[in-house]
């Protein structure tokens, strides 16, 4: 799978991923102590949904387009929608700008928090710097995100925080790299919250990935998945999944409410499942 994000910005997987990200951030910020956030594959920061890549796929219409004008949504979804609307001139018209995870994270950082963003592709890196210019407490690194996990963690001064690992899945071994990265990063930073995103196309491959993580015995690990199609067609993106290691207390309740709400509005098949469950209890 080649997940070039400009073509997919604002789709159902983005909305799901960003809802989960905000759920974890908000839980961590219930305490006044600062947090550190590392986004290993940051991307461009913001995306123009009127530009050619988005227009060619129109995937955003079945994602943010289905919920953008909603006024009654679970609190965490409302937080996401408020952030998206703030980037658009008229909240009553379809969105033109959609935030990537860097801009979303920065919008919800407190004065005491810090965020580090990694991006290696030169043009995307330039776009990222432009989109984050002037925002406080943000460090941008022109480096490989996989390598950054070893180089930038654990944070030197801030002991609490999270890592978002959201690779483009351009290489056939990306899911194995994600498995290894989550296990190794947990060993390096046992108290850190780790979020790993994965596409749901090949269900057996995803199940093998989750079994490997389960055997590693990492604590308080949740699986949060949202499918809009039945997960049996390997030619399309059927669903979005995140694994959360060291999941904050009661975040599963937030995720169940929000995922069910998104599923009701985004599913395109009656056989499309969703779930929020402890790793190892998926069956």
Residue 48 — φ and ψ, nearest 5°?
-90, 110
> Rounded distance, CA 152 to CA 147, Å?
9
- Residue 118, classed as helix, strand or coil, is strand
pLDDT the model gives residue 281: 75
pLDDT the model gives residue 283: 46
pTM: 0.96
Torsion of CA 91, 93, 96, 101, to 10 degrees: 40
pLDDT the model gives residue 221: 97
5-278 CATH fold: Rossmann fold (3.40.50)
Q: Catalytic residues, which ones? A: 166
- Domain segments of the chain: what residues? 5-278
> Measuring CA to CA, which residue among 81, 59, 65 is closest to residue 6?
59
pLDDT the model gives residue 92: 81
pLDDT the model gives residue 101: 97
DSSP state letter for 117: E
CA of residue 176 relative to chain centroid, distance: 18
Instruction: Please provide the distance, in angstroms rounded to a whole number, between the alpha carbons at the two ends of the chain.
Output: 26
CA of residue 135 relative to chain centroid, distance: 20
CA of residue 187 relative to chain centroid, distance: 22
pLDDT digit of tens for each residue in the chain (283 aa)? 344 577 889 999 999 999 999 999 999 999 999 999 999 999 999 999 988 878 888 899 999 999 999 999 999 999 999 999 999 988 788 999 999 999 999 999 999 999 999 999 999 999 999 999 999 999 999 999 999 999 999 998 889 999 999 999 988 899 999 999 999 999 999 999 999 999 999 999 999 999 999 999 999 999 999 999 998 888 889 999 999 999 999 999 999 999 999 999 999 999 999 999 999 875 4
Q: How many CA atoms lie within 13 A of 52 on its CB side?
A: 0
Q: With contact defined as beta carbons under 8 Å apart, do 4 and 44 qualify?
A: no
- Residue 195, classed as helix, strand or coil, is strand
């Amino acid at each position: 799978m080649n997940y070039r994000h400009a073509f997919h910005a604002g789709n159902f997987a983005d909305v799901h991923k960003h809802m989960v990200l905000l759920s974890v951030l908000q839980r961590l910020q219930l305490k006044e102590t600062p947090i550190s956030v590392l986004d290993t594959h940051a991307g461009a920061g913001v995306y123009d949904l009127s530009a050619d890549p988005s227009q060619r796929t129109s995937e955003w219409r079945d994602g943010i387009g289905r919920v953008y004008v909603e006024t009654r949504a679970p609190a965490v979804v409302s937080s996401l929608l408020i952030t998206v609307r703030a980037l658009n001139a008229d909240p009553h018209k379809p969105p033109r700008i959609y935030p990537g995870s860097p801009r979303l994270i920065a919008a919800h950082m407190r004065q005491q928090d810090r965020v580090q963003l990694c991006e290696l592709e030169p043009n995307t890196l330039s776009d990222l710097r432009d989109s984050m210019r002037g925002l406080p407490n943000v460090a941008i690194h022109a480096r490989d995100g996989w390598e950054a996990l070893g180089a930038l963690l654990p944070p030197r001064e801030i002991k609490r925080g999270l890592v978002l690992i959201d690779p483009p899945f351009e290489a056939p071994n990306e899911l194995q790299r994600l498995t290894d990265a989550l296990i190794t990063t947990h060993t390096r930073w046992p108290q850190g919250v780790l979020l790993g995103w994965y596409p749901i196309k090949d269900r057996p491959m995803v199940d093998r990935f989750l079994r490997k993580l389960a055997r590693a015995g990492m604590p308080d690990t949740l699986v949060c998945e949202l499918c809009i199609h039945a997960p049996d067609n390997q030619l399309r993106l059927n669903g979005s999944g995140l694994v959360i290691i060291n999941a904050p207390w009661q975040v599963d309740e937030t995720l169940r409410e929000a995922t069910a709400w998104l599923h009701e509005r985004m599913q395109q098949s009656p056989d499309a499942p969703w779930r929020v469950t402890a790793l190892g209890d998926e069956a």
